Amino acid sequence: MKNSKPAVNPLLCKVNQTPHATILKLELVSAKDDTVTLKLPFSEHIIGDPFKRLIHGGAITTLMDTVCGAAVFQAQGNFQSMATLDLRVDHMRPADSGLDVFAIAECYRLTNTVAFIRATAYTDNIDEPVATAVASFMRSNVEFPIQ
Amino acid sequence: MELFKKISELKANNDFEGLVELVPYAKTIGIETSLVGDNIVSTLPFLSSNIGNHAIPALHGGAVAGFMENAAIFHLMWTAKLQQMPKVIDFSIDYLRSGQATTSYSQCEIIRLGRRVALCNIKVWQADIDKPFALARAHFLLSSNEPFNKES
């Protein structure tokens, strides 16, 4: 199955087109093997700390959830839906105000029913992460609706 | 200090809706607040911009997580005498079922409120409080970098 799948899932460009991903302006940056990188651009409406003008943790969680799901699509090589079972995000430091946040996720294990993913979010330097995440998703054979 | 002043002001005017005005992200996902006893309770009316899968349609897991994290933040801001915004340290969420296209309700329980760290459990449901669609727990950092400063 793995050797028949395209290098980059052609439908990946659709992952940021769900209404909520659109609101946060998530962008697909790159995809390779079983990893995907997305970008969360800094914007006024995702600020959580109005005094220091820092991005809200919830927006980072959405970035992590979406990039983990995208990594499953990339590893599967198709667009079969999945549902998040659990997601844990550890916040190492706040992203500097005004900077875009990137997140890279790797689907490191795909069983018949469950996908396991880890992800790292960063701004300039991946060695100084903003957050890390681990997630597991329940797989399904229902096609994800593409608009 | 700025935060403490702001919250005191909101409390004096009983302006719990002012919390949403304070946090742009809360406004973006459409959080509403009400006062139940002395506690802030957050609700999330259905907004199509929070959809993650439009076939069901279901709320985006990220929006649900953001709603829950923010419910805890508002609860802490109102309850604890904070000098700065609570900073999330870790956030862990279990999804039990998909969030439908209807209003979501939240309940936040502070498990421990220390000088530096708070631990919260958050539960969200829609039609039936006994059928939550997600459960989360989160640690928040409450104080600044000087860990041994005495509380004023």
Instruction: Answer for the pair B88, A111: CB distance below 8 angstroms, yes or no.
Output: no
Which of B3, B25, B61 has the CB atom closest to A47's CB atom? B25
Residue type, A124: D
pLDDT at A10: 84
> How far is it, in rounded angstroms, from Cα B32 to Cα B43?
5
> Domain range holding B11?
2-141
Is the minimum CB–CB distance between A48 and chain B shorter than 8 Å? yes
Domain count, chain B: 1
What is the average pLDDT value for chain B, to the nearest integer? 92
* Contact between chains at B65 and A86 (C-beta distance less than 8 A): no
Closest Cα in chain A, distance from residue B140 (Å):
10
Residue B59 sits in a domain whose CATH number is: 3.10.129.10
Q: For the residues B7-25, what does the mean pLDDT come to?
A: 93
* Alpha-carbon distances, residue A126 vs A100, B51, B78 (angstroms): 13, 30, 36
Taking the alpha carbons of B97, B101, B103, B108 in that order, is the dihedral positive or negative? positive
Domain assignment present for residue B36? The answer is yes
Confidence of residue B151 (pLDDT cuts 50, 70, 90): low
Mutation site, B91, B122, B137, interface A, largest A CB count within 10 A: B91
| Token pair belonging to B109 | 């329980």
In this prediction, the residues of chain A whose per-residue pLDDT falls under 70 are: 1-4, 147
Query: In chain A, which residue ranges form alpha helices assigned H by DSSP?
Result: 19-23, 57-76
> How far is it, in rounded angstroms, from Cα B137 to Cα B118?
11
Instruction: Answer for the pair A115, A59: CB distance below 8 angstroms, yes or no.
Output: no
Is the minimum CB–CB distance between A2 and chain B shorter than 8 Å? no
Q: For the residues B98-126, what does the mean pLDDT come to?
A: 96
pLDDT at B146: 59
Domain assignment present for residue B147? The answer is no
Q: Helix (H, G, I), strand (E, B), or coil: what is residue A47?
A: strand
* Contact between chains at A19 and B25 (C-beta distance less than 8 A): no
Domain assignment present for residue B112? The answer is yes
Angle between helices B61-79 and B2-12 (to 10 degrees): 80
| ipTM at complex level | 0.93
pLDDT at A6: 80
Mutation site, B2, B5, B27, B29, interface A, largest A CB count within 10 A: B29
Which H, E and C letters describe chain B, residue by residue?
Answer: CHHHHHHHHHHHCCCCCHHHHHCHHHHHHCCEEEEECCEEEEEECCCHHHEEECCCCEECHHHHHHHHHHHHHHHHHHHCCCCCCCEEEEEEEEECCCCCCCCEEEEEEEEEECCCEEEEEEEEECCCCCCCCEEEEEEEECCCCCCCCCCC
Phi then psi dihedrals of residue A116, to 5 deg: -115, 130
Domain assignment present for residue B37? The answer is yes
Domain assignment present for residue B120? The answer is yes
Instruction: Using CA coordinates, name the residue in chain B closest to A23.
Output: B49
* Pairing mode, strands A47-49 and A54-55: antiparallel
| Token pair belonging to A6 | 């395209």
Domain assignment present for residue B152? The answer is no
pLDDT at B152: 45
- Domains of chain A, CATH where assigned: 10-143 (3.10.129.10)
- Whether cis (ω within 30° of 0) applies to the bond prior to B57 is yes
Domain assignment present for residue B68? The answer is yes
How do residues B29-42 score in pLDDT, each as one tens digit? Answer: 999 999 999 899 99
pLDDT at B145: 61
Distance of CA A121 to the CA centre of its chain: 9
How do residues A45-87 score in pLDDT, each as one tens digit? Answer: 999 999 999 999 999 999 999 999 999 999 999 889 899 999 9
Is the pLDDT assigned to residue B112 strictly greater than 90?
yes
Residues 72-111 of A with CB under 8 A from B: 81, 83-91, 94
> How far is it, in rounded angstroms, from Cα A92 to Cα A125?
13
